[in-house]
A = this chain, B = another copy of it.
Amino acid sequence: MLKVTFRFEHGESKEIFAAENENLLELARKANVAIDAPCSGNGSCGKCRVRLLSGELDSPKPRQISKEDYAGGWRLACLSRVVSDVEIEVPDIASAYKSRMKTADLSTGEEVRIFNDAKQSVEDAGIAFINDFLSCTIALDAPTLDDTMPDNERLTRALMEELEVEFVDIPHCAMVELPGALRAANWNVRCMGRRTGDRFTLMALAPADDASPICGVAIDIGTTTVTAVLVNLETGELLSRGSAGNGQIRYGADVINRIIESTRPGGRKRLQDAIVKETLQPLIRTMCAEANVAAERVLCVTVAGNTTMNHLFVGVDADPVRTEPYIPAFFHWDGLTARDVKLPVNPEARVILAPNIGSYVGGDITAGALMSMIWNHDEMSLFIDLGTNGEIVFGNRDFLMSCACSAGPAFEGGDISCGMRATDGAIEACTIDRETMEPTFRIIGGADQKPVGLCGSGIIDVIAELFRCGIISAKGQFVREGARVTQDASGFDCYVLATAEESVSGRPITINVVDIDNFIRAKGAIFSAICTLLKSLDMDVSCIERMYVAGGIGSGINMRNTVRIGMFPDLDLDRFHYIGNSSLAGAYAMLMSDQARDKVEELAQSMTYVELSTTPGYMDEFMAACFLPHTNAELFPSAME
């Protein structure tokens, strides 16, 4: 056996034994070492860069690594085979998508504001934020030799009277606490649980003077990023918020690669473990710890995610979603509890999944559509969620149409050589001086921070600015010379955003022709999907009276630039509204409001799903949109100014 030692920049290390010729990326997966592999290890994306510190790898020089870097030990993990004991450095930069958790400071404004605005709109539309969960205090008579009623019957009778219910269910998790809790509380207890109709389910117990909140967790499971909030179920107050990379990322950047991986032996469990054990469990535990909330006080969990994410999360075979005739196991499904999927909350907590409506339009969109409010407008509105998939809903209070396109991970920084998630160090906005071709940035985390990479909104800006300054052509080719236009390590034409000295990693931050091409395909997928959906209604983009943009791309998104590059239609800028993470906001609404849950079900039922891949003309639209801004420039008069 050979020994492989993974060393991390922050000083830790991990060891694993390997057979001769084992693949290094596979070994990293076995050792639970997060190395990005958006292409799922086929050598195309160049993200799985690691550095050989000692020992020997059988690893050819790929195009993505320069001669100098190769000489310096840099290798692609997916192309490397272990042939001796080796020490491998895993750069932090390579784990930008890694399951690194981040909790947000709720006191800072914008995101909470967007969230609250959305909630307000839903409430204004008559959807009450009232749910089934409650806590109440009960003073019991202590038993005596003359009053020997058993504990459960004593409490049941009192609860029936107090809550005016006919049945009280005491599941096992509550029963095992019952005798101790009643006696510790001196028969004066706080009961927490769920009332539905004439039935109360007891979920947690405490002494009567306990005042800590009963809680719920709302989760948005994105293909790339997972975000969640911990909420007081009685008041709706946000208690903590967190986000993390989806741990499944190492099995591929997109849903298709992950489904394929899930069909391999043990794959379904691996994919489920990656989202549940590696991502959700630590995320929920951290949020609870931060808000000082005990796990058993979390009585409900709502989850919004696309159809594939839903299936992989609950451990149900997703392969039929991928293959004709594209049939998911479920759209709507009611039977899930927290312990089925081992979430670290009350084991009896219901886990409510926002319903899917098609193989590629899932709960993230039905939940998000609720928050977009387009179902409540007379105006024709378009709601788009920019994620690894781009999903679109168009309509008004009379009808709703939806479709999905595969944009790839570019909007979240994936498939871009220096791309990263919108976290500290990301360039989130950029302008380029037309004369000097020098860039100016806004960096997440503060102006005095060195840049680490480019997040989605930054990429939009850079490409729009390169195009506006005539540095790149409509096809995305470099057409102007200058100090910042050069060739990168792989020999591709590129624009240098930050030199090696200016960047955190000590390697230059560049955007090359391959990145630009990837991005143009992503934006082309979005725009052509919008056009195709409208065309199926005999409409065009001029019919869009409002446009709601959601997604983790960030509030920094510059709508003018999205139009300049032909990603969004050329509408008046005041028609655009960035509504943040509407999927998470929708999960929050479903947590807090039974009526919101019903409304989402109703929206799901009424939405018509258009399968783009079988819609005539979509491919032509897509090809036409793979230019800056478009082969038909007349569609973008403002971009041409």
Q: Nearest B residue to A149 by beta-carbon distance?
A: B327
Give the Cβ gap from A86 to chain B, nearest Cβ, in Å.
Answer: 38
Which residues of chain B are within 8 angstroms of A359 by Cβ–Cβ distance? Answer: 148
- Chain B residues with CB under 8 Å of A327's CB are 143, 148-151
A320 contacts the other chain (Cβ, under 8 Å)? yes
Q: Are A179 and B314 in contact (CB under 8 A)?
A: no
Q: Does chain B have a CB within 8 A of A326?
A: yes
A126 CB-CB contact with B under 8 Å: no
A314-B172 contact, Cβ under 8 Å, with A325-B143, A327-B143, A329-B178: yes
How many Å lie between the Cα of A144 and that of B323 in the bound state?
11
* Contact yes or no, B317 A152, CB < 8 A: no
List the number of copies, as a whole number.
2
Which stretch in A292-300, A335-343, A558-566 binds the other chain?
A335-343
Q: A6 in the interface, Cβ–Cβ < 8 Å?
A: no
Q: Which residues of B are found within 8 Å of A330, using beta-carbon distances? A: 150-153, 175
Q: How far is the CA of A165 from the CA of B499 in the complex (A)?
A: 69
* CB of A507 within 8 Å of the partner chain: no
Give 1 or 0 for each of A328-365: 1 = CB within 8 Å of chain B CB.
11111111110111000000000000001011000000
Q: A150-B330, A150-B331 are in contact. Are A179 and B144 (CB under 8 A)?
A: no
Does any Cβ of B come within 8 Å of A124's Cβ?
A: no
A493 on the B face (CB < 8 A): no
> Could you tell me if B316 and A175 are in contact, using CB atoms closer than 8 angstroms?
yes
User: In the bound complex, what is the Cα–Cα distance between A334 and B152 (angstroms)?
Assistant: 11
Point out the residue from B172, B316, B325 that lies within 8 Å of A340, measured CB to CB: B172
A139-151: CB near B (< 8 Å → 1, else 0) gives: 0000111011111
Nearest B residue to A327, CB-CB? B143
Q: Which residues of B contact A148 (CB under 8 A)?
A: 325-327, 358-359
A173 to chain B: closest residue by CB? B340
A341 to chain B, nearest CB (A): 8
Q: Say if the beta carbon of A171 comes within 8 Å of chain B.
A: yes
Q: Decide if B333 touches A175 in the complex (CB within 8 Å).
A: yes
Q: A425-452: contact bitstring with B at CB < 8 Å (1 yes, 0 no)?
A: 0000000000000000000000000000
Residues of chain B lying within 8 A (CB to CB) of residue A325:
143-145, 147-148
Max count, chain B CB within 10 A of own CB: residue among A170, A171, A330, A335 = A335
A193 at the binding interface (Cβ < 8 Å): no
Shortest beta-carbon distance from A336 to chain B in Å: 6
Chain B residues within 8 Å of A179, by CB: 316-317, 319-320, 329
Interface size class of A (residues with CB under 8 A): 35 or more
Least Cβ–Cβ distance between A505 and chain B, in angstroms: 43
A614–B172 Cα gap in the complex (Å)?
33
In the complex, the answer to whether B614 meets A333 with C-beta atoms within 8 Å is no
A147 proximity list for chain B (CB < 8 A): 325
**A211 touches B (CB below 8 Å):** no
Complex Cα distance, B151 from A356, in Å, reads 13
Set of chain B residues within 8 Å of A331, measured between Cβ atoms = 150, 153
Taking CB atoms and an 8 Å cut-off, the chain A residues in 294-317 that contact chain B are 314-317
Please give, as numbers and ranges, the residues of chain B lying within 8 Å of A151 by CB-CB distance: 320, 327-330
CB distance from A283 to the nearest CB of B (A): 21
A403 to B: closest C-beta gap in Å: 14
| Complex contacts, A614 vs chain B, CB 8 Å | 145
* Cross-chain contact of A333 among B170, B314, B317, B335 (Cβ < 8 A): B170
A337 adjacent to B172 (CB under 8 Å): yes
Identify A175's interface contact among B170, B329, B332, CB under 8 A: B329
Minimum distance in angstroms from A120 CB to a CB of chain B: 34
Q: Is A176 part of the contact surface with B, judged by Cβ < 8 Å?
A: yes
Cα distance A326–B145 when bound, in Å? 8
Cα–Cα, bound, A144→B359 (Å) = 13
Question: A614 CB to closest chain B CB, in angstroms?
Answer: 7
CA distance A320 to B337 in the complex (A): 31
A145 touches B324 (CB 8 A): yes
User: Nearest chain B CB to A200's CB is how many angstroms away?
Assistant: 13
A15 at the interface (CB under 8 A from B): no
List B contacts of A29 (CB < 8 A).
none
**Does A183 interact with chain B (Cβ within 8 Å)?**
yes
Give Cα A175–Cα B316 distance, bound, in whole angstroms: 7
8 Å CB interface, A122-150 against B = 143-145, 147-150
A329 & B172 in contact (Cβ 8 Å cutoff): no
B329 touches A152 (CB 8 A): yes
Interface membership of A180, Cβ < 8 A: yes
Chain B residues contacting A22 (CB-CB under 8 Å) are: none
Decide yes or no whether A169 CB sits under 8 A from chain B: yes
CA A358 to CA B145, docked complex, whole Å: 12
Min distance, Cβ A391 to any Cβ of chain B, angstroms: 17
Q: List 29 A-B contacts (CB under 8 A).
A: A145-B324, A147-B325, A148-B325, A148-B326, A149-B327, A150-B327, A150-B329, A150-B330, A150-B331, A151-B320, A151-B327, A153-B331, A169-B334, A169-B335, A170-B333, A170-B335, A171-B335, A171-B340, A172-B335, A172-B337, A172-B340, A175-B330, A175-B335, A176-B314, A176-B315, A178-B316, A179-B317, A183-B320, A339-B339
Interface residues of A (CB under 8 A from B): 143-145, 147-153, 169-172, 175-176, 178-180, 183, 314-317, 319-320, 324-337, 339-341, 356, 358-359, 614
Give 11 new A-B contacts, CB below 8 A, not counting A143-B327, A180-B317: A145-B326, A148-B358, A149-B327, A150-B329, A150-B356, A151-B329, A171-B340, A172-B336, A175-B335, A178-B316, A183-B320
